[in-house]
Amino acid sequence: MPDDGREVVRVRGVVKDVRPGLGLRRKRILHGISLTVHRGEIFGFVGPNGAGKTTMLKVLMGLIRASSGRATVLGHDVGETEFRRQVGFLPENPYFYDYLTGREILRFYARLSGVRAAAMDKRVATLLDWVQLSDAADARLRTYSKGMLQRIGIAQALIHDPEVVFLDEPMSGLDPIGRKQIRDLILRLKRAGKTVFMNTHILSDVEMLCDRVAILVAGRIRFQGRLEDFLDGDERESDVVLSGLPADLASRFEERYGAELRGHGTRVELRVKEKEVADLLRAALEAGAEVQSVTAYRISLESIFMRAVESAEESS
Ligand SMILES: Nc1ncnc2c1ncn2[C@@H]1O[C@H](COP(=O)(O)OP(=O)(O)OP(=O)(O)O)[C@@H](O)[C@H]1O
Ligand SMILES: [Mg+2]
């Protein structure tokens, strides 16, 4: 067994074909997905609409079967059922009986997932508090806003204190305050040592939350790893702002250090490779310029994402 206890999710070569309709040709949605999620990690499964994120999640939840390949969660094949008590799941469009109240629906799911009767009321109250629905606990779901429903969905996923939680677009339909509440909740799970797998396309949330990501484009993973590892040290860049730099020198720097020059006149900003910074600063100071600032330039997830989508388009 390759699982050493640290691998909470292990997917190897998962392919999913569907037949869109009677007599129609088979369509491949997942083209051999392999990924690993470690214990205690917040993992972002990121990709544009239609990439196959929900399909992968359905395979992991045992709701549909992979056409080939293998997927395990907590060391169990996803086809097994017994280990599911340790798993929480927020589906993409959760559906609830809307004549029940928030408290009732959580009690319902608590019973379903085997929470002990003695512990139930306290657990339900705790979850309502975590998702800030204590005040609305006894109102029917029919009266809930979209954001409130999304939060009750998350409470439902966590009611039985699972080891690993799968969230399909947890921030969907939430305003910035609601998103912050969910982010805080996800970080609380991480502090408690839980593992979180989330599907999303909200890149800023991923940047703030995720330890590692996989970028899925058209059913293929284009990047997987820690965001900061995407660029190796040689490629890291810094923004250097200088004032009082003689004009001819700025363009000479452009050439000599392969710098990207912005701004005109005596105040300029140069983006240079990290390894060139010291040299450039020395030359600038010698020429009588003043150094205003040096800031490490962090590649954004957005640029990684756009690159992944573009290279997928080129190769298709
Ligand atoms: N049962 C099915 N039959 C036919 N096509 C399907 C089926 N299930 C999914 N698809 C197609 O597979 C692709 C991936 O769908 P999926 O819902 O997994 O994407 P997603 O990444 O979750 O997208 P979104 O961000 O919009 O939620 C889509 O083109 C979808 O139309
Ligand atoms: Mg989806």
pLDDT given at position 163: 95
- Whether residue 59 contacts residue 71, with contact meaning beta carbons closer than 8 Å, is answered with yes
pLDDT at 4 over 70: no
Cβ of 218 below 6 Å from ligand 1: no
Task: Work out the average pLDDT over 208-226.
Answer: 91
pLDDT, tens only, 34-80: 999 999 999 999 998 899 999 999 999 999 999 999 999 999 999 99
Query: Which residue from 16, 29, 64 has its CB within 8 A of the most atoms of ligand 1, so it is best to mutate?
Result: 29
Nearest residue to 55 (alpha-carbon basis) of 88, 89, 18 = 18
pLDDT, tens only, 136-187: 999 999 999 988 999 999 999 999 999 999 999 998 878 888 888 899 999 9
The span from the first CA to the last CA of the chain, in angstroms, equals 36
pLDDT given at position 231: 55
pLDDT at 280 over 80: yes
Q: Which residues are placed with Cβ below 5 angstroms of ligand 2, an ion?
A: 53-54, 92
pLDDT given at position 63: 93
Cβ of 91 below 6 Å from ligand 1: no
Q: Which atom of ligand 1 is nearest to the CA of 47?
A: 21
Which residues make Cβ contacts (< 8 Å) with residue 87, sequence separation at least 6?
Answer: 61, 73, 74, 162, 163, 164, 165, 166
Cβ of 50 below 6 Å from ligand 1: yes
Which ligand sits nearest to residue 50's alpha carbon?
A: 1
Nearest residue to 39 (alpha-carbon basis) of 64, 62, 63, 8 = 8
The mean of the pLDDT values for the chain is 88
Cβ of 47 below 6 Å from ligand 1: yes
Strand, coil or helix: what is 307?
Answer: helix
pLDDT at 2 over 70: no
CA of 205 to the centre of ligand 2 (A): 16
Cβ of 217 below 6 Å from ligand 1: no
Task: Give all domains of the chain, ordered by start, each with its CATH number.
Answer: 7-229 (3.40.50.300), 233-297 (3.30.70.980)
Which ligand sits nearest to residue 53's alpha carbon?
A: 1
Confidence class of residue 110 from pLDDT cuts 50, 70 and 90? very high
Q: Which two tokens stand for residue 211?
A: 């330890």
Q: What is the CA radius of gyration of the chain?
A: 25
Cβ of 24 below 6 Å from ligand 1: no
Task: Report the percent of the chain where pLDDT is more than 70.
Answer: 94
> Ligand 1, atom 1: nearest CA belongs to which residue?
18
- Whether residue 141 contacts residue 149, with contact meaning beta carbons closer than 8 Å, is answered with yes
**CA-to-CA separations, 161 to 74, 158, 216, in angstroms, rounded:** 15, 5, 29
**CA-to-CA separations, 231 to 17, 155, 228, 237, 299, in angstroms, rounded:** 34, 37, 6, 10, 8
